[in-house]
Amino acid sequence: MKTTEESKDAASEPILKIGHVANILGVPTARIRAWESESLITPYRTESGQRRYSVHDVKQLEKIQKLLDSKSTTFLGVRTTLAIACAEHNDDLPSHDMRGFVGQRVKMLRQRQRMSLRDLSTAVKISPSALSAFERGLSRPSTGRISRIAHVLGTTVPELLGMGRPKDQIIVRVDNRELLPLNDEGVRIELLYRTTTVLQSQCITIEPGCGLLEPITHTGEDFVTVVEGEVDVILDSIDVFHLDQGDSMTFPSTRAHGFQNRGSRTTRLVWVNTPPTF
């Protein structure tokens, strides 16, 4: 008799071809590919590029199909629903959740660029075993580490997280922001843009005592203004700049930067960098 862990491993094995999955769902294979292009699912790819799906992936696709067939939500709504579900079940995350989803995307991009596991791990300054665990969905890296991986792979954090390509939408309503499914406790990053732009703008909410402590470095310039509360912006792990409500700051993105809310109430920032390299 299989143990619980063995059963989970079996359900995570990518063994089903896209045609088999299409038959299970009763949809054309083109529809599954369309869901993939909208970053709703990221199947495992063999060395020859063929898609393979696990039992967990099929369950995820069934959820996607049900949400879209209800005609009550958009692709954005589906991505948000899936991200919230992952956060609420953080103690038992299968291979199709955000950990496995992003890990598979990293592996796919790495292989497309013909980079070995060791090549990428050296470039982002983590051990090959830590990178392997991430690609297999066994760990959730910090935002700083995700940013370094995205930079080396020539993409951005939102794209690496599967947020989909920006639409030609010049207005983003407050209830229509995309949430980045990151792993820093007490930090919430929402995108303020839904169109192709050189200004990568985010609304960052930071709970007291929380922050982004692993530094981020990329090309371009950063601008931040405090909408509510207070924040310490840390540059090069040495220089600390305290900003109160209404204060603003501009600095080169090449300076390693992070932030922390050492106050007693929630802080909200508008953070912009250009070009979009975060």
Architecture in CATH of 174-274: Sandwich (2.60)
User: 3-class SS at 202?
Assistant: strand
Cβ partners under 8 Å of residue 204, min gap 6: 187, 188, 189, 190, 259, 268, 269, 270, 271
pLDDT per residue as tens digits for the range 139-188: 777 888 888 898 888 888 888 887 766 667 889 899 888 888 887 889 99
- Which top CATH class is 4-88? mainly alpha
For residue 213, pLDDT beyond 90:
no
Residues spanned by CATH 2.60.120.10 within the chain?
174-274
Residues spanned by CATH 1.10.1660.10 within the chain?
4-88
Q: Is the pLDDT higher at 176 or at 245?
A: 245
For residue 8, pLDDT beyond 50:
no
Please name the amino acid found at residue 111: Q
Task: Single out the residue of 139, 120, 278 nearest to residue 202, CA to CA.
Answer: 278
For residue 89, pLDDT beyond 70:
no
Cβ partners under 8 Å of residue 48, min gap 6: none
Percent of the chain scored above 70 by pLDDT? 84
Instruction: Please give the Cα distance from 94 to 193 (Å, whole number).
Output: 30
Q: Helix, strand, coil: what percent of the chain each, to 5?
A: 35, 25, 40
**Whole-model pTM?**
0.63
For residue 267, pLDDT beyond 90:
yes
Instruction: Please give the Cα distance from 93 to 171 (Å, whole number).
Output: 34
For residue 108, pLDDT beyond 70:
yes
